[in-house]
Structure 1
């Protein structure tokens, strides 16, 4: 049990992780740490030897040489150790970051990235090297080394006192060690990574990010949020400092108790050494050696090891907590094959997609977003899904991309359960534009075809999306790069559409469009979507949109309400039905009718 508790301590986990991740540099680091830890005790012994040789009139060559070697080592070892520690810190940071990326990217789903209870650990594991909560790893390695060296050097010096008496090192180790025990018991080095501390850190970092990111700059200034944002940063940062200070402050009563114990123990030992020296029981060499060792033992006192280890081990402990949780939350399970089952044959052409009694609730919630959801999307058709916010439209898109699996029911692709298809194969056949699409700070070519391709294909996709005159393919799509540009939200949306079109031209048979033209004006939206439909005519195209000028162009429309499909049909059929779709259509259509100066109705855009 004691061994298990030791191996689970943050400091132990940190050193194990460091040694396994960077074994070569770690070995050098540990060797230099051992050398630095032994030097004070060795100098105490060598000083006594030198003084004894002087008093005896002996040859000083050997003791002076030994003292010189130790002195030079004492001067060279710390800066060399710092250099090795800096390199080790950088390498360890890289290893931890790579482990986090692996834990984040390895699961096929995205449930682990949408779990709020993992946010604090994720922030700690991701941002530990930014210097917001403590020194970056490459700097903190020097604090860790210095603290460990002080502790071990004090122990080594105390052990020299066995040459005086068996009780002497035990007395000093107990006395100086009590400074750690007493102060820890009174809360000197409490856990600096409680949930409260992590929350304060997250709020601080978020306010800092909002203030420094260009994306938020317009609203911050327009609404006068600058003072509010600064105050939020200041308040949360102050709270963070208060919590961390409360975890490290000295308590007067415990400090006084520790000083009394230390003074009594050291006073008694030095008195005994002095008494024996005057009585002739100790030679001058022994007296100097033991007095120096007693002084060296004081290196054990207080120290900053706990603080340094708290900061250094925090990302390691956060990462070790995240890895199994992320794997479990983000992994998708393929059903075990039943006797007689055959592997699904390779598909060809646009598939039929069928939702059968699909029920789904996000992890951590009891309320299903979809409940017994049934829907059939004919092969090669264009199909729109509409409904009010929160009806479950985007959840349908996530399930279709197999970012999550339903808790009940099945999604069938040409009759085959989606869970039985190889995930990589299915996603290679699926092109999508999400409403929160990514704006890559890369050349335009790489925004359209991130995995590479012919320039002609990229240009054709941009032309189909109405973005062919936007910029050259080599133009960086961010102002932070030489020759880089920034474009409007609508133009970015056209680039995202071009990315999906390029994938369709490369062989994708299913197209998923989640609010793909929300940033475009109505006329531009209708025009672009018409082009997209032409470009994806051979595919099964699924549109999620609030814009009925776009929706009415598709073959079939489904109205989703409270996680169920309540109406399915063509635009004309649903309008004639006079149900939910007709109500939403009429509300939106009325926005495009105004009165002219003579009171006559003017239709600005036909829906």
Structure 2
């Protein structure tokens, strides 16, 4: 029983029952009843033939045939509708569970781990039609397979009225054929190779149909290139499946031999008995039709749609289990100490080392850094130096591999996570552009219109006044914003959090999409609005960086220089070299523009 419960098919049907017992019960009842009806039709046909031969009244057999035929026609669309409703209900429930599972871990390690990503891909795509039909369509195919199998069994059972060995002979032959057909259609869709092909196919599809890539695809004439890539990636999926199944098709010649032998024996015996008068013509008709109808055993049962649907459901359940019990779920665990009013003295990175799960080299390597409370710190350094990683650790999206981050002397891991994140506000360089209203983009969790407008004004976006306008052209009366406007909206989101009590502000390239004049204006506004907050700024523009109270230069995961702008320029080290290099380029560009004018 334990082995049976572990089978993916059992898990799938148990999931149906748990999702909606009422619909599931009706679906199973219709499956069973529809499966029995063809056997009743065969018996009714035999009765009609017998009545014709014997000269008996035809009313009863004709009425029986009419009723059975009508039920067969009427119940099929009803069954499909019930299955579609059940599939949609199960799909919605599984997607809800998947969203909860993916959002359960407090960090983001699980979203960047390859093994977890493979599981998430299989779980996320189970109902998108990338590998098989969506669940609301699969239910009709699954029901059809089960109805066909029950029909075959019922008609094989009719043969028991002829001879005890007849259902065993015919049913056994068709069951062996069913096994061969089933084996030749199975494939493992959860291998890394299959998931990679699936991921590439989905990405190619998104490139073709989503708007973010549309400009470049058309500008560079890449439409055919994207289409060809999608076709190639989909073809790779088909070839993987074909390679997995074609090697199992050789035993089919044995199935033909078995069917020929079993069918020949039955019809020889039936013909012999008909010739001797052991069975009448009506019985011969019934048993012959039943023998042919038993072939449904070969083509019904637990079909390919059930296999794919079961894999999808199993993937969702595995993700749920993984997120609940794995190291990913435990990678960021909330402490119990409240963070209210912190930091009052300082934030300190003490010998912090961090390595991403997919990398062998540490991004931060024994980093030491102190940020006095209420001050602003700019972090500069080359690409890959560890700047963004530093602020992710500060936001507790990850925890250090070794070392600790202390807030007023308390390890950050000991603070209540929700409490700390209420104290923290951030704009990341890849900030989210929600396809929601302007108000929801600034304050997703609730705010008054006045609070939202105040945040927009401070961020330099006073011209954006329609708070209910959807920020996406894909909606009726929706609109899109320029890159600079979006950046100001994201800054308004941070400033609203500050107005609501955030005391630590993280700005990761907060003005990258603004021109120099707009950058200076906005950053001055932000510094004024966050006065008294502990602010950590990452920027490649030194005109912004120099406004911070202190500047630290990170190289190879460590702080190599720390001080004010004037102090670091006097030091004559890395910061001065980078500052002068950028200043020289800026002057050259400005002089070139002056000469051009």
TM-score by length of 1: 0.91
- Aligned position for 2:515: 521
Whether the 8 Å CA contact 1:183–1:254 is kept in 2: the answer is no
Whether the 8 Å CA contact 1:111–1:329 is kept in 2: the answer is no
Whether the 8 Å CA contact 1:161–1:169 is kept in 2: the answer is yes
Structure 2: distance between partners of 1:391 and 1:565 = 10
The farther-off stretch of 18-27 and 62-71 is 62-71
Q: Does 1:562 align with 2:559?
A: no
Deviation at 1:277, TM superposition (A): 2.7
Whether the 8 Å CA contact 1:14–1:313 is kept in 2: the answer is yes
The partner residue of 1:319 within 293, 316, 339 is 316
Q: 1:315 to 1:253 in 2, by over 3 A?
A: closer
- Aligned position for 2:238: 241
The partner residue of 1:201 within 182, 198, 201 is 198
Structure 1: distance between partners of 2:252 and 2:329 = 51
Deviation at 1:240, TM superposition (A): 2.3
Which SS does the other structure have where 1:406 is aligned?
coil
- Dislocated runs of 4+, deviation >6 Å: 334-337
The alignment yields a C-alpha RMSD, in angstroms, of: 2.6
Structure 2: stretches of 5+ with no match in the other structure = none
Structure 2: distance between partners of 1:304 and 1:204 = 31
Q: Does 1:10 align with 2:16?
A: no
Structure 1: distance between partners of 2:340 and 2:532 = 14
Q: 1:336 to 1:401 in 2, by over 3 A?
A: closer
The partner residue of 2:584 within 590, 601, 606 is 590
CA deviation profile, 1:193-226 (whole Å, cap 9, x unmatched): 5433332222122112112222112222333333
Which SS does the other structure have where 2:350 is aligned?
strand
- Aligned position for 2:480: 486
- Aligned position for 1:31: 29
Q: Does 1:298 align with 2:292?
A: no
Structure 1: distance between partners of 2:551 and 2:352 = 19
Whether the 8 Å CA contact 2:350–2:403 is kept in 1: the answer is yes
The farther-off stretch of 422-431 and 474-483 is 474-483
Q: 1:511 to 1:321 in 2, by over 3 A?
A: same
Structure 2: distance between partners of 1:379 and 1:596 = 38
Structure 1: distance between partners of 2:247 and 2:144 = 21
CA deviation profile, 1:329-361 (whole Å, cap 9, x unmatched): 532467899xxxxx6356326442111222221
- Aligned position for 1:506: 500
- Aligned position for 2:491: 497
- Aligned position for 1:260: 257
Which SS does the other structure have where 2:560 is aligned?
strand
Which SS does the other structure have where 1:128 is aligned?
coil
Structure 2: distance between partners of 1:500 and 1:276 = 89
Which aligned pairs between 1:151-550 and structure 2 lie closer than 5 A? 151-184=149-182, 187-247=184-244, 253-303=250-300, 305-327=302-324, 328-332=326-330, 344=337, 347-348=340-341, 350-351=343-344, 352-550=346-544
Deviation at 1:501, TM superposition (A): 0.3
The farther-off stretch of 110-119 and 534-543 is 110-119
Q: 1:42 to 1:250 in 2, by over 3 A?
A: farther
The farther-off stretch of 120-129 and 399-408 is 120-129
Which SS does the other structure have where 1:292 is aligned?
helix
Deviation at 1:245, TM superposition (A): 3.8
Structure 1: distance between partners of 2:18 and 2:271 = 48
Q: Does 1:22 align with 2:4?
A: no
Which SS does the other structure have where 1:7 is aligned?
helix
CA deviation profile, 1:398-421 (whole Å, cap 9, x unmatched): 111111122222212222222122
Deviation at 1:283, TM superposition (A): 4.1
Deviation at 1:65, TM superposition (A): 4.5
Deviation at 1:53, TM superposition (A): 4.9
Q: 1:40 to 1:602 in 2, by over 3 A?
A: closer
Deviation at 1:242, TM superposition (A): 2.6
Structure 2: distance between partners of 1:227 and 1:62 = 65
TM-score by length of 2: 0.92
Structure 1: distance between partners of 2:341 and 2:208 = 50
Structure 1: distance between partners of 2:234 and 2:206 = 13
Whether the 8 Å CA contact 2:332–2:396 is kept in 1: the answer is no
The farther-off stretch of 120-129 and 199-208 is 120-129
Whether the 8 Å CA contact 2:8–2:314 is kept in 1: the answer is yes
The partner residue of 1:93 within 58, 69, 91 is 91
Q: How many residues align?
A: 593
Structure 1: distance between partners of 2:133 and 2:339 = 54
Q: 1:518 to 1:152 in 2, by over 3 A?
A: same
CA deviation profile, 1:150-196 (whole Å, cap 9, x unmatched): 112112211222232222111112211222333455x3433355433
The farther-off stretch of 267-276 and 223-232 is 223-232
CA deviation profile, 1:220-253 (whole Å, cap 9, x unmatched): 2333333322221222222223333444559774
Whether the 8 Å CA contact 2:331–2:398 is kept in 1: the answer is no
Which SS does the other structure have where 2:187 is aligned?
coil
Which SS does the other structure have where 2:368 is aligned?
strand
Structure 2: distance between partners of 1:285 and 1:602 = 104
Which SS does the other structure have where 1:373 is aligned?
strand
- Aligned position for 1:71: 69
Which SS does the other structure have where 2:225 is aligned?
helix
Which SS does the other structure have where 2:471 is aligned?
coil
The farther-off stretch of 21-30 and 468-477 is 468-477
Which SS does the other structure have where 1:301 is aligned?
helix
Structure 1: distance between partners of 2:331 and 2:382 = 31
- Aligned position for 1:108: 106
Deviation at 1:557, TM superposition (A): 1.4
Structure 1: distance between partners of 2:305 and 2:330 = 39
Whether the 8 Å CA contact 2:46–2:283 is kept in 1: the answer is yes
Whether the 8 Å CA contact 1:140–1:312 is kept in 2: the answer is yes
Deviation at 1:595, TM superposition (A): 8.8
- Aligned position for 1:340: none
Structure 2: distance between partners of 1:311 and 1:567 = 57
